Structure 1
Amino acid sequence: MFKPHQFSCGLIFSAILQDGKTESSSCTCLKGPKLSEIGTIAWMITLCDALHNFIDGLAIGASCTLSLLQGLSTSIAILCEEFPHELGDFVILLNAGMSTRQALLFNFLSACSCYVGLAFGILVGNNFAPNIIFALAGGMFLYISLADMFPEMNDMLREKVTGRKKDFTFFMIQNAGMLTGFTAILLITLYAGEIELQ
């Protein structure tokens, strides 16, 4: 008879439903505090990140239906955005009370929704106009940058820096980062049609 607890992570979802016992669970990935003791911010981050990754997968899938080069450039752009984003989510999960293993597991599970979005994006991109998917993904990126990152940059400037010289230095560093991103996007937009893969 098949017993799922014989495998290391066979009880992940049943442990989640049973409120995640700390030491009695045979799943080594969930060792740590009970899931009910973890802050609600961790669950909000995990679910929102899963939705975010699903939309990223939609964008990659839809761009791959147009051309391989566009799919590659979209994948690289999303990779550059996701790396610091996932590190930030990992730190938030740790601060919310998860153990390192729990944070890695739930961060991985939310990242897997990108594959579902990829498959859905390829199917929808072949049947419908992929511009709708690009509008959805672009709106999400604009929302994250305008509603989340800009206020955070202002808060950092107010909290961390005192004095005119330090204010100016911090301001220049922030603007150098934004200008680097704008330049990269502009170069991709201008020269994407001239790049050929052989």
Structure 2
Amino acid sequence: MTLAAILAATLVAGIGSVWLAEALLRLGVARGRVGPEHLLSLAAGALLATAFMHLLPEAFEGAARPQVLFATLLVGLVFFFLLEKAELWHHGHEHWAGARHGHAAEDGHAHADHGPHHHHDDHQHHHHGRGGGWTLLTGDSVHCFGDGVLIASAFVADMRLGWVAALSVLAHEVPHHVGDLVVLRQRGGARNVALLKVSLAGAVSALGGLVGYFIVDRWQAALPYFLVVASSSFIYVALADLIPQLQRRLPAVQALAQVAWLAAGIGAVTLASLLAHGLEH
């Protein structure tokens, strides 16, 4: 009975939060009040707040030494840098291999119509638009796995506490998954594909719940490291990929709008985390 409740609660928290985030995005875009740059700012704020206001504080509440956690954060940042490098190299290799066969025939036409500078800019845009997807999904999966272990731990202690923990996870994951969906769509993915990928990452919470149910005591000691690794992916995506896209000269009104949406993303996650801690206590 407890295992069935854990699996149900982790799936509701992991996948349900993704679908709630999708519904909120559809509502905002349908009303015409949300543009691409607004969503990028919101995503950056949500990812940074999830890392700094929720995951890292929770990791440092455990018994792990701060020096080891900071070392884990550093290793995680370097790992996700290398992961994105590999992802960009893979896409660049595919692009180069596909272009080899048609380059000779199209070269004169391309230079006549656009010039070499346009082709170079398009190549850079292709690379930039494809980066960050696997970095984000890897960190999201680690994060969801840790959430599953947390929910299982609460259920093992008390059934009512388990449902409260699941509701808390659901609450703080919604604004974070809004950021995930925005990032993946910005990378050139279709709406349904992005929804499927983030939903699969959310489903990893059920795996964490299953593992947590059987070996909860052993995995509790590893939880801070899961949280720090997930944090490193969110920090890397926000600072290395999203915010650089927003760093260009804009009219004052648009710049203020970017800052407002960034603050909205931070505020949404912070408020959800505070409400979640209130429910737990």
Partner Cα distance (1:45, 1:71) in 2: 25
Q: Is residue 130 of structure 1 aligned with residue 225 of structure 2?
A: no
AA partner of residue 176 (structure 2) = E
**Structure 2 counterpart of 1:170:** 258
**How far 1:139 sits from its partner (Å)?**
1.6
Q: Is residue 145 of structure 1 aligned with residue 239 of structure 2?
A: no
1:68-105 Cα distance to aligned partner (Å, 9 max, x none): 2223312443355345525644775847xxxx998777
Q: Is residue 157 of structure 1 aligned with residue 252 of structure 2?
A: no
- The share of aligned pairs that are identical, in percent, is 15
Q: Is residue 71 of structure 1 aligned with residue 166 of structure 2?
A: yes
Alpha carbons of structure 1 residues 151 and 185: separation in structure 2 relative to 1, 3 Å: same
Indicate if the aligned counterparts of 1:61 and 1:122 stay in contact, CA closer than 8 A: yes
Q: Which protein is richer in helix relative to its size?
A: 2
**Structure 1 counterpart of 2:275:** 187
**Structure 1 counterpart of 2:78:** none
1:93-149 Cα distance to aligned partner (Å, 9 max, x none): 847xxxx99877776665543322220022222x3473642x234324432332222
**Structure 1 counterpart of 2:205:** 114
Indicate if the aligned counterparts of 1:61 and 1:118 stay in contact, CA closer than 8 A: yes
Alpha carbons of structure 1 residues 103 and 78: separation in structure 2 relative to 1, 3 Å: closer
Normalising by the residue count of structure 2, what TM-score does the alignment of the two structures yield?
A: 0.40
Alpha carbons of structure 1 residues 63 and 81: separation in structure 2 relative to 1, 3 Å: farther
Alpha carbons of structure 1 residues 106 and 80: separation in structure 2 relative to 1, 3 Å: closer
Instruction: Give unmatched runs, 5+ long, in structure 1.
Output: 1-36, 194-198
Alpha carbons of structure 1 residues 61 and 155: separation in structure 2 relative to 1, 3 Å: same
Alpha carbons of structure 1 residues 166 and 91: separation in structure 2 relative to 1, 3 Å: closer
Partner Cα distance (1:102, 1:163) in 2: 34
**Structure 2 counterpart of 1:61:** 152
**How far 1:155 sits from its partner (Å)?**
1.5
Range that drifts further, 144-153 or 174-183: 144-153
Alpha carbons of structure 1 residues 177 and 43: separation in structure 2 relative to 1, 3 Å: closer
Alpha carbons of structure 1 residues 63 and 142: separation in structure 2 relative to 1, 3 Å: farther
2:176 maps to which of 38, 62, 81: 81
